[in-house]
Amino acid sequence: MQPSNEQLLWMYETMLLVREYEETMVKVYLEGKLPPHIQKGLAFDIASGPVPGEMHLAAGQEPVAAGVCAHLRKEDTVVGTHRPHHFAIAKGVPLDRMTAEIFGKTTGLGRGKGGHMHLFDPDHKFSCSGIIGASLPPACGAALAAKKSGKDWVAVAFFGEGAANQGSFHESLNLASLWKLPVIFVCEDNKWAISVEKRNATAIASNADRAVAYGMPGIAVQNNDALEVFEAAGISVARARKGEGPTLIEVKTDRYLGHFQGDPEVYRPKGEVEQLRRDDPIVRLGGQLRQRQLLDDARDKTIRARVHGQVEQAYEFARKSKYPNPSEALEHVFV
């Protein structure tokens, strides 16, 4: 299955948007967190600044989001992880309301109640969770609802290679296969579960090999490449829409930043990130687009300007938005 020109350009622009968003967040996140604005003696204060709490950024992992979401419609469901921005952006979640949520503002997706790991956008059927492995069961639920309604909608559960050792993974794969649910399980193997390498956590080399144990096809995407992800996802989404059941995809992708922002990454081999960045999937796709005459300097400049404008506007919207009234903390437990 070959991507159309529109899809190619969409993937390129989406990945650029994610990358710029995440790299902007690297800077914004640090605002207010460093000396001298913080408690004396501390090098960093996680609680301070306009974006407090934990921050998990997906720079380097753009191809997974772009390659999969290129096949999805608004009615398809995506459930993401604690590292959710690339999935949300690729699914079409409005950047301004997402950023406002991350800033804890009342204009955010969850009125500031969820924050960066708990982004909910029912209009775009996007949700995510801070609990490892928690994306798989609700994706099965969305798929079950689609099946019961007779629609050809699909659900995608994204999770990491670390999550593939959690019970929810095994239960969900079995259930989805047993009930032939239209769900695609996409494992982002970025090698690192915080500081623990895959080979020190998983008994086998490839999670795609686990698929056979659950009665579904497994596809191993060996490169951090949007087109390769696109192909694997295309096969899987088509299967699901036809009622043929679930598929497991594992993509070897690259986590350019720490597990969380502030992570000193002492566990990571020296030079690893520099080496990964030399094979940037966005640069690679850009080169391929140029080869196909879909991209030139002028067009690239236009795309990048548009992306930059969207990112700037989103962050400005978040900064300008108001915080919720403290009394709101007691609201919305129940509807």
Sketch the per residue contact string, 3 through 42, with other proteins: x for CB under 8 A, - otherwise: ----------------------------------------
The radius of gyration computed from the CA coordinates of the chain, to the nearest angstrom, equals 20
Type of residue numbered 279: D
Give the whole-angstrom CA distance, residue 262 versus residue 316: 24
Give the whole-angstrom CA distance, residue 170 versus residue 216: 12
Pick between residue 146 and residue 232 the one whose CB is nearest to other proteins: 146
Residue 150 CA to its chain's centroid (Å): 28
Residue from 15, 65, 93, 140 that binds other proteins (CB under 8 A)?
140
CB of 26 to other proteins, least distance (A): 25
Strands 183-189 and 247-252, by their bridges, are parallel
Pick between residue 95 and residue 276 the one whose CB is nearest to other proteins: 95
Sketch the per residue contact string, 49 through 88, with other proteins: x for CB under 8 A, - otherwise: ----------------------------x-x---------
Pick between residue 56 and residue 252 the one whose CB is nearest to other proteins: 56
Part in contact with other proteins (CB under 8 A); list of ranges 43-51, 135-143, 203-211, 285-293: 135-143
Pick between residue 150 and residue 271 the one whose CB is nearest to other proteins: 150
| Residues present in the chain in total | 335
Pick between residue 64 and residue 109 the one whose CB is nearest to other proteins: 109
- Residues 95-134 touching other proteins, rule: CB under 8 A, are 108-115, 118, 120-122, 125, 127, 129, 131, 134
Answer whether 311's CB lies under 8 Å from 99's CB.
Answer: no
Six token digits for residue 78? 């995506």
Which helix (DSSP H) or strand (DSSP E) does residue 8 occupy? helix 5-30
Cβ burial 92-107 (10 Å sphere, 16+ → b, else e): bbbbbbbbbbbbbbbb
Residues 6+ apart with CB under 8 A from 178: 215
Residue ranges binding other proteins (CB under 8 A): 77, 79, 108-115, 118, 120-122, 125, 127, 129, 131, 134, 136-146, 148, 155, 167-168, 171-172, 174-175, 178, 331-335
